[in-house]
Amino acid sequence: MKKQLIYLSLIVFAGILVMYGCSSNKAKVNPTPSSPAATVSIQNFAFDPATVTIKVGSSVTWTNMDTAPHTATDLGNAFDSGSLATGKTFNFTFNAAGTYTYHCLIHSMMKNATVIVTN
List interacting residues with Cu ion (CB under 5 A).
70, 104, 106-107, 110
Instruction: Give the whole-angstrom CA distance, residue 82 versus residue 34.
Output: 26
Nearer to Cu ion, 78 or 106 (CB): 106
User: Which residues are within 8 A (CB) of 59 and not within 5 positions of it... i.e. 6 or more apart?
Assistant: 37, 38, 91, 92, 93, 94
Angle value at C-alpha 114, between 49 and 42, nearest 5 degrees: 40
Question: Which of 110, 117 has the CB closer to Cu ion?
Answer: 110
Shortest distance (Å) from residue 66 CB to Cu ion: 7
Q: Which letter does DSSP use for residue 80 in this model?
A: B
Q: Which is nearer to Cu ion, 5 or 109 (CB)?
A: 109
Shortest spacing between CB 111 and Cu ion, in angstroms: 10
Q: How far is the CB of 14 from Cu ion (least distance, A)?
A: 43
